[in-house]
A and B are shown apart, each in its own frame.
Chain A
Amino acid sequence: MTVLLAASPLSQPFFQHAFLAGTAIAAASGLVGYFLVLRAQVFTGDALSHVAFTGAMAALAFGADLRLGLFAATIAMALLFGTLGRRARPDDVVIGSVFSWILGLGAFFITLYTTSHSTTNGTAGVSVLFGSVFGISSAGAVVAALVAAGVGLLVVVIARPLLFATLDEAVAAARGVPVRLLGYGFLALAGISAAEATQAVGSLLLLGLLAAPAGAAIRLTDRPYRALALAAALAVLEMWAGLFASYAVPSMPPSFAIMAVATAVYAATFLIRRPVPGPRTRTATAVPAGT
C-alpha cells in the first residue's frame, strides 16, 4: 500500500518543489561533506549549520527575509573561522566558544521574534531548527536548486587542488597550490551549502546530510574522485528515499526520514569489510586524543 502511495506524490506541487530543492541540496551537501570529512572539519560544518539558525532568527527578528540571514550568517561565520585558524583550519576550542555564543544569540532572537511579531509565524524557530522541506515554495525551490547547483559545480571545479591541499598540505603549498585561499573558499562554500541545506532538513539535522553520505562513501571506496561522486549520489538517493518515506507515513517528519535513511546507509557500510586502509589526513596526526 505504501508503495502505491509513494508512487503518486510526484504529481503534488509541494512534493515537486521539495524534490527539486532536495535533490540539488543533497548533491551539494554530499560533495561539500566529503571534503569536510576528509579535511577533519566536520565540527566546523556542525558549527556552521547551527549558526544558520541564529542568522535566520536574526533576519526574522528584524523583519528581513529568512534566507538573507541564513546566507549572511553562515558565510560570515565560515570566513571568521578561516581567519581564526592556522591555514584556515580553526581550533576546536575556538569554534566551540564562538558558536555556542552565536547559538545563544539565536535563542535571544527567537524570543525577540516570537514576542514582538504577534506570532503570525510562531513555529518559524522550530522549522528553521528542524527543517520543513515540504513547505518550500516553487520560487524558493528554484532558487535553492540553482544555488545548490552552483555550489556543487564550484566544488567539482576546485576538487583537484583542494584534494591535493587536503591530503598533503605542505607539498601542495610548495608546489604553488594556494592552500590558504582554497581553505577560505572551501569554508565559504561549506557556509553556503549549510544555509541551503538548512531550508530542507533544518540547521540541527543538516550535519547528518554532510557527514553520513561522505562517511559512507569513504568507507566504500579509497579512490578520492569515486568517493566524491559516491557521496553526492548517496546523499541524493537518501534524500529521495526520505521524502517518499515521509510522504507515505505522514506522521513522520521528512527531516527525520532523511536522517534515518542516511544513518541506516552509513550503518550498513560498517557491515561491509573495507579492502585497504584509506588515505590518511595530515590533521589527524597533530591531535593526540582525537575528538
Chain B
Amino acid sequence: MSEIALTLGPVFFHWPPDRLLDFYRRIADEAPIERVHVGEVVCGKRMPFSDPAWPAIIERLERGGKQVVLSTLAAPATVRERRSVEDLCGEDRLVEINDVSGLPSRSGKPFVTGPFLNVYNEASAKFLIQLGAQTICPPVELSFAAIGVMSLKCPEAEFEIFAFGRLPLALSGRCYHARIHGLHKDSCQFTCEKDPDGLSVDTLDDQQFLAINGVQTLSNQVQAFCPTPAALAAKGIRRLRLSPQTCDMVEVARIYRRLADGKEEPKDARFALSCLDLPGILVDGYAHARPGWQATATA
C-alpha cells in the first residue's frame, strides 16, 4: 500500500438512492481509494431517502476492498437524529464523529473526527485521541502548516487534509434551499435535490462566491490542494480527503493517487483537475494560511 492514503468523504448533497448506488458502485470497482465514508451528515430530513440504500452500498464497497467509515450528522437536533447518531456510534465499523453529541456513545472505541468538529490545536487533538480518535480531519480553515504541527506533535493519530471539493463553510438551523423557494424548513419539499453540487450563490456583481445545500453553506470554488508526497511526509500527514461532487470522482481519485505516489507533479495534477466538469474554479488559499477563496497556485 502507498504511504499516502486517500479518503473519500461523505456526500454532502441530496442525491437520490439510485445515484448513490451508481456512484459507490464505480468507486468500489474503479477508484484507487482506501477508505470511503458513507452516510448523511448535513440534513436528518434526508435520511429516510438514503438510509435504505446504505447496507447494499457498504457491502459493495467492502467487497471492493474499501474500508468503510460511517459518518454521523454534523448538527443533530431532533430525537430521531440524535438516536441515529447514537446508533451509528454503537456500530463495530469505524465512525466519523461530526458533532460532540456522538462522543459519549463512542468514547473508548476508535473514531475519526470530521471537519465539522473543532480541533484547532495539539492539546485538543490529544484530548480526543485519548477518547479514541484515530484519524483527525481538522476544520477546513486550518492551514497545512498548522495541521502539520499538530500531526508532528500527535504521532499517535493520523491527520487528514480536506484536499478536494467544495469547502464546507457553515451550518445553520435554517434551510436556505427552503428559504429561497419561499418555504419553511419543516415543509421544505426537498428542493435541495435539484442541486446535486449545491446551488451557486453569486454577489450582486456576479462574482462567484458561495453555494447552498439545505442548511449548509459551501464555497462556490472547489478546493484543490495538491501537495507533493515529500511535503506531506515532512509534516507526518498520511491522508488526503476527497469530497464528492458530481464530476468524475474516479478520475479525481486517479489524479490524487498519481500525485500522492510522486508520479505526477502538483501543477500537472491541478491542470488535470481543472479539465474536469467542476462546479467552480480551483482554490487552495486555506492550505496556505490565506483567505480560502484564493488560488495560490494556478493550473
Co-assembled chains A and B: no
